Amino acid sequence: MKYNRLTKEQFEELNQEFSKFLATQAIDKAEWDTIKVEKPEVAEQELDIFSDLVWEGVLTRAEYLEHFSKNHIFLFQCFDTHVQSIVLKSLVTETDFLTKEGLQWLSDNMFTETIEMKTGTKEFTEERNSSIFGLIQQGAFLSDGQLYKQINSIIEA
C-alpha cells in the first residue's frame, strides 16, 4: 500500500465510487459480500487498492496545503517538481494560532516585528504525490489557497 487506507467514514462517503471500482473488476454486491466472508485477505487488498487510487487522485489535484501549530503557520503551494512555502512565526510565545483569538492577533499584527515571515522553495526529492502525502501525515491539510495567495500577493508587492 502506497498511502493510508481510507477510514470507514470515507468509504461510506465514497460508497458509489467503490461500487464502480468493484464493477470494473466484475465484482457485484453479492460476490463482494462472499469475498468479505470467505476471502477476507482479498477484501483487504481491494480496500487498499481503492484507497491508493483515491489518494492518488486527491494528491494529483492538490495545489495548496496549510499546517497550523501553536506559534507557526506553514502555507504551501505545490507544483510539479517543487513546493513553495510561506512560514509565519509568532515571536510572542503566548500566541496560539490554533485559536480564534490567535488568528485575530495574527491579523492585527501581521506586519509588525512580532511576526517573522520566511519564504522558500524546495524541490521534491521523492515522487510529488508521496511528498505531499508526507506533509499531510505531518498535519497539513488541503486548502483553497486563499491565505497563501493573500500573503504572497502582499510579499510580492
- Write out the DSSP string of 86-131: EEEEESSTT--TTSHHHHHHHHHHTTSTTEEEEEEEEE-SS-HHHH
Q: Within a domain: residue 3? A: no
Other CB atoms within a 10 A radius of the CB of residue 148 amount to 20
- Domain end among 28, 44, 61: 61
Q: What is the pTM of this model?
A: 0.86
Confidence of residue 155 (pLDDT cuts 50, 70, 90): confident
Q: Please write the tens of the pLDDT for every residue from 120-151.
A: 999 999 999 999 999 999 999 999 999 999 99
Q: Please write the tens of the pLDDT for every residue from 30-82.
A: 999 999 999 999 999 999 999 999 999 999 999 999 999 999 999 999 999 99
pLDDT of 156 reads 79
CA dist., res. 133 & res. 121, Å (int): 17
pLDDT of 16 > 80? The answer is: yes
Residues 116 and 40 in one domain: no
Find the domain containing 13 and state its range.
Answer: 8-61
- Domain end among 41, 61, 81: 61
CB 131 within 8 A of CB 83: yes
pLDDT of 111 > 90? The answer is: no
- Domain end among 35, 61, 87: 61
Residues 44 and 92 in one domain: no
Residues 18 and 93 in one domain: no
Q: Within a domain: residue 2? A: no
Residues 40 and 112 in one domain: no
Residues 56 and 75 in one domain: no
